[in-house]
A = this chain, B = another copy of it.
Amino acid sequence: MKHLLSPLDLSVEELDDLLNLADRIVADPKKYSHCCDGKKLATLFYEPSTRTRLSFEAAMLNLGGSVLGFASADSSSASKGESVSDTIRVISCYADICAMRHPKEGAPMVAASKSSIPVINAGDGGHQHPTQTLTDLLTIRSLRGELGNLTIGLCGDLKFGRTVHSLIHSLIRYENVKFVLISPKELRIPDYIREDVLDANNIEYVEVEQLEDVMPKLDILYMTRVQKERFFNESEYLRMKNFYVLNAQKMQLAKPDMYVLHPLPRVNEISVEVDDDPRAAYFRQAQYGVYVRMALIMTLLEVEVN
User: What 0/1 readout, one digit per residue, does chain A (128-159) give for beta carbons within 8 Å of chain B?
Assistant: 00000000000000000000000000000000
- Are B283 and A94 closer than 8 Å at their CB atoms? no
Residues of chain B with a CB closer than 8 A to A93's CB: 58, 283, 286-287, 289-290
- Are B76 and A265 closer than 8 Å at their CB atoms? no
- Are B86 and A266 closer than 8 Å at their CB atoms? yes
- Are A89 and B33 closer than 8 Å at their CB atoms? no
Contact A82-B286, Cβ < 8 Å, known A42-B54, A50-B77: no
Least CB distance from A70 to B in Å reads 6
Q: How far, in whole Å, are A58 and B67 apart by their CA atoms in the complex?
A: 9
Task: Classify the secondary structure of A's interface with B.
Answer: helix
Contact among B38, B57, B272, B283 for A90, CB-based, below 8 A:
B283
Q: How far, in whole Å, are A126 and B209 apart by their CA atoms in the complex?
A: 48
Least CB distance from A135 to B in Å reads 11
Q: Does A91 contact B (CB under 8 A)?
A: yes
- Which residues from chain A sit less than 8 Å from chain B, CB to CB? 33, 38, 40, 42, 45, 48-51, 54-55, 57-58, 61-62, 66-72, 74-77, 79-82, 85-87, 89-95, 264-267, 272, 283, 286-287, 289-290
Residues of chain B with a CB closer than 8 A to A272's CB: 85
Counting every copy of the chain, the complex holds: 3
Least CB distance from A250 to B in Å reads 20
- Are B51 and A90 closer than 8 Å at their CB atoms? yes
Least CB distance from A28 to B in Å reads 14
- Are B82 and A71 closer than 8 Å at their CB atoms? no
- Are B33 and A61 closer than 8 Å at their CB atoms? no
Contact A72-B74, Cβ < 8 Å, known A85-B272, A267-B81, A283-B89: yes
